[in-house]
Amino acid sequence: MESINIIERGTFNEKAMKKLLVHDSPYFRIINFNFEPGQELPIHSHDLEGELSIQIIEGEGEYLAQDRNIPAKAGDILVCAVSEPHGVRARTRMRVLVTIAPPL
Amino acid sequence: MESINIIERGTFNEKAMKKLLVHDSPYFRIINFNFEPGQELPIHSHDLEGELSIQIIEGEGEYLAQDRNIPAKAGDILVCAVSEPHGVRARTRMRVLVTIAPPL
């Protein structure tokens, strides 16, 4: 057993959101996304079984959904089907943790 | 799609750790545990398939493992098999998020 610290390990990049694979197994995949203001994980979906959680660790922005945006701030967790359109856009610097089960 | 804010919703209790079920589905279960200093999720395991992540949202303490303790602080994520002995003890107030896939 070993822990990883996503605040120490997760970096930012002016050019594009930064992605850190935290864990990957047959059970779930955990990914840390870090965004500079204005950067986004564009809205997308996968025609597959499963769900994902999108947790805001730091900062503020919005969740992107099919027909609307949902305010997002530290402490927020949103769960949706992998097949539902979803995304994230940063207003401030944001640290986000995504957990997908089962992994795609 | 709807989000829940675990910092706004998660409370503390002097008498025992506080548990908030964030999400439960065939894919994963997400639980927020809040601890006052000294409180703990005692070390335990389940003889079942699957993995869980234990993420520290706020505060400091330690992860409890079979033969040792591992320092735990905000940003840390530890993943282990559901069948491995695991637990958490708080030194300061701690907010912790546990994700189990598949749910027990």
Q: What is the pLDDT of residues A22-72, one digit of tens each?
A: 999 999 999 999 999 999 999 999 999 999 999 999 999 999 999 999 999
Q: Which fold has domain B18-101?
A: Jelly Rolls (2.60.120)
The mean pLDDT of A64-90, rounded to a whole number, is 97
Taking the CA of residue A2 as centre, how many other CA atoms within 13 Å lie in the half-sphere pointing to its CB? Answer: 3
Q: What is the pLDDT of residues B35-76, one digit of tens each?
A: 999 999 999 999 999 999 999 999 999 999 999 999 999 999
Interface subset of A 43-102, CB within 8 angstroms of B: 50-51, 53, 55, 57, 63, 65, 70, 72-80, 84, 86, 97, 99, 101-102
Q: What is the DSSP string of A18-68?
A: EEEEEEE-SS-EEEEEEE-TT-EEEEE--SSS-EEEEEEEESEEEEE-SS-
> Which residue shows structure tokens 């500079």?
A36
- Cα–Cα distance for residue pair B61/B65, rounded to 1 Å: 13
What pLDDT score does B17 carry? Answer: 97
What pLDDT score does B2 carry? Answer: 87
What pLDDT score does B1 carry? Answer: 80
- Cα–Cα distance for residue pair A103/B70, rounded to 1 Å: 27
- Burial readout B59-89 (b: 16 or more C-beta within 10 A, e: otherwise): bbbbbbbeeeeeebbbbbbbbbbbeeebbbb
Residue of A28, A72, A97 lying closest to B28 (CB–CB): A28
The pTM score is: 0.96
Distance from chain centroid for Cα A92: 15
Confidence check: pLDDT of B104 > 90:
no
- Cα–Cα distance for residue pair A65/A52, rounded to 1 Å: 14
- Average pLDDT over chain A, rounded to an integer: 97
What pLDDT score does B35 carry? Answer: 98
Q: What is the CATH number of domain A16-85+94-101?
A: 2.60.120.10
Quote the tokens at residue A103: 């992994």
Q: State what percent of residues in chain A have pLDDT above 90.
A: 96
Q: Are B63 and B72 in contact, with CB atoms under 8 Å apart? A: yes
The mean pLDDT of A4-14, rounded to a whole number, is 96
Confidence check: pLDDT of A104 > 90:
no
The chain B residue lying nearest A69, using CA atoms, is: B1
What pLDDT score does B13 carry? Answer: 97
Q: What is the pLDDT of residues B5-16, one digit of tens each?
A: 999 999 999 999
- Cα–Cα distance for residue pair B1/A84, rounded to 1 Å: 9
Q: Are A78 and B1 in contact, with CB atoms under 8 Å apart? A: yes
